Structure 1
């Protein structure tokens, strides 16, 4: 599968998203539980990372393929599958906007939780997700919402203010959190409007330690934040960026314990019937 045309490959291989994903496992399992996956279903997890939703789906008996642009995350996912003894789960590299190696009408369920939203050419992403889904199957996306006051939308907004401007023609991944854009993209892919539904949902980042520790993880391992800090360092603004993000993380912490981090983040849950 040709992945070299996707500019996000370097971004997501730059850090180590497994460090972030470790704080997301509980919500990943809860989300999969609500999908009511049945044994024997074929599931594609697109932009899967190291398997935060793919492993819970496989544990429920589905035949799961995880596809991600980042080779390091694919390797981590396959390692986790082996360690869990899940022969019904495998990971491979791929570009969500050009799933050339996947046949049409192959999957009962296509899931993409904060994954495919970052791929370029969103119209192609919608068409590819629809193409590989069996008639009567479902697509479920989780997408961050632009200007939402909760954690991740604010991290991305703050980071963008410190990072270099995006290239000409860049389409913000946050538009996948806008209902009008969601409907437009899937309708253009051939889905009837009445088969598209959007609802706000919540994902939780949870870990031991103070919020500053979670911020350390984002600063050191999350590609967009890493880029922002590199640019801020060159401009002498790294301390300013750190202070702004520390204030955000501390304000968002809902644990009630300064040594425990529990931060809910709002996202758009998209359900599409094919």
Structure 2
């Protein structure tokens, strides 16, 4: 995954400046995540980007370790946390394999799994870092079932952008692929939701099998 760090370092400024596309839906997802967290929890977030989600959830837990492969993204997260006086987050450069071992009460991976080439290996590493009975929450892009514009872009346009260094690795996952991989890793899926409208991202709430 570190091979994509240069790509994310280059786009960090643009990424940080981009507004949340559907803020109401984002906040609704955060509320659902808060419902499965406790004030005493220690949390690991993988692929934290510039720390927006970690900072939003920090008041609801004891401590968060927010990781990303991009040091440029992490630097922006540290700045935002400092500016917002959030002190219970550590920003650490890491991927799923070499992230702090924990184990953690909760592991979060938003907009990440479809960017990992060996997802099964990453999910195995995530399971090792989740306490028995602990929660794993992910939001993942899944291929639209119908061949709409998004589908055609991923099939035809994305390979061109990847070839010129303008896009990272991007897995063509189906909903069935995603759910099966999470289950194989030793999690029991307890709830799911699709993003509203034409947004094809799937949020999965799962617990590590005790």
62 and 153 in structure 1: CA distance in 2 versus 1, 3 angstrom threshold: farther
SS of corresponding position for 1:78: helix
Compute the displacement of 1:86 (Å): 1.0
- Distance in 2 (alpha carbons) for counterparts of 1:154 and 1:53: 30
How far is the alpha carbon of 1:19 from its aligned partner? 2.1
Report if the CA contact (8 A) 1:28-1:56 is conserved: no
Residues 155-199 of structure 1, C-alpha deviations (whole Å, 9 max, x = no match): 655641543559xxx984232xx23322432343233xxx12563
Where in structure 2 are the equivalents of 1:78-117 lying within 5 Å? 78-96=78-96, 98=97, 100-104=98-102, 106-117=103-114
Matches of 2:16 and 2:62, distance apart in 1:
23
After the TM superposition, which parts of structure 1 deviate over 3 Å for at least 4 consecutive aligned residues? 21-29, 147-159, 197-200
Match for residue 184 of structure 1? Answer: 180
Post-superposition Cα deviations, 1:3-57, rounded to whole Å, max 9, x if no partner, equal xx62211221121221235546554433121121321211111111112211111
Name the SS for the 2:125 alignment partner.
helix
Structure 2 residues without counterparts, runs of 5 or longer: none
The total of aligned residue pairs comes to 200
| Cα distance between partner residues in 1 of 2:18 and 2:40 | 30
| Residues 164 and 186 of structure 1, relative CA distance in 2, 3 Å threshold | closer
Secondary structure, counterpart of 2:176 in structure 1:
helix
Distance in 2 of aligned mates of 1:198 and 1:151? 28
Report SS of the residue matched to 1:163: helix
TM-score, normalised via structure 1 length: 0.63
Structure 2 Cα separation of the partners of residues 131 and 264 of structure 1: 34
| Matches of 2:75 and 2:163, distance apart in 1 | 31
Pair 27,13 (structure 1): closer, same or farther in 2 beyond 3 Å: farther
Distance 2:108 2:135 in 1: 8
Larger Rg: 1
Counterpart residue number, 1:121 = 118
- Answer whether contact 2:51 2:77 (CA < 8 A) is retained: yes
> What's the counterpart of residue 199 of structure 2?
265
TM-score normalised per structure 2:
0.80
Return the match for 1:33 from 31, 34, 43: 31
2:2 alignment partner in structure 1: 6
Q: Is 2:65 the partner of 1:65?
A: yes
Q: Contact 2:116/2:170 (CA < 8 Å) preserved in 1?
A: no
- Kindly state the Cα deviation for residue 74 of structure 1 after the two structures are TM-superposed: 0.6
> Residue 126 of structure 1: CA displacement?
0.6
